[in-house]
């Protein structure tokens, strides 16, 4: 497991060398063009800010590690983080109440399969756990 309670960091790309290489390549392409060459492409509601896009690429390159919450980073008031700390769980897949947990509402809006992923991890943990034999 990486650095989060909820498991989102399990699939994080920030520490993936191939991801960082791709971001660096995109940034080098973007840096070759002047803003006025692309300005006609970024108008109205369909456009976006090329300087903001560049800043986003620079952010990825300057943060090549996962900023997970278990190490004290992340959102202080995250309900998942607060719950895991109170229950002394290292990861939500350890929690016996995971299937009924209401705290994943926001995550599930963006990642609808995430809870199923955690439940699979939970099942795998149970299967790996050594069972005491009868004596």
The pair of three-digit structure tokens given for residue 110, joined into one six-digit string = 């963006």
**Mean pLDDT, residues 75-101 taken together:** 92
* Residue 81 clears pLDDT 50, i.e. is over it: yes
Q: Do residues 19 and 12 touch, judged by C-beta distance below 8 A?
A: no
Q: Please tell me the distance from the alpha carbon of residue 115 to that of residue 109, in angstroms, as a whole number.
A: 11
pLDDT of residue 8: 85
pLDDT of residue 25: 96
Q: Do residues 7 and 104 touch, judged by C-beta distance below 8 A?
A: no
Q: Which residue has the tokens 């497991």?
A: 1
pLDDT of residue 67: 65
Q: Please tell me the distance from the alpha carbon of residue 94 to that of residue 70, in angstroms, as a whole number.
A: 15
């Amino acid at each position: 497991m990486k650095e989060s309670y909820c498991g989102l960091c399990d699939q994080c790309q920030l520490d993936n060398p191939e991801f960082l290489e791709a971001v660096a390549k995109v940034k080098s392409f973007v840096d070759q063009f002047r803003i006025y060459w692309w300005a006609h492409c970024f108008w109205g509601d369909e456009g976006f800010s090329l300087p903001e896009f560049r800043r986003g690429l620079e952010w990825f390159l300057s943060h090549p590690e996962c900023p997970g919450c278990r190490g004290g980073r992340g959102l202080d008031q995250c309900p998942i983080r607060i719950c895991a700390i109170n229950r002394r769980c290292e990861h939500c897949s350890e929690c016996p109440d995971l299937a009924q947990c209401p705290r994943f509402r926001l995550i599930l809006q963006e990642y609808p399969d995430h809870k199923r992923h955690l439940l699979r991890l939970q099942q795998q943990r149970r299967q790996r756990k050594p069972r005491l034999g009868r004596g």
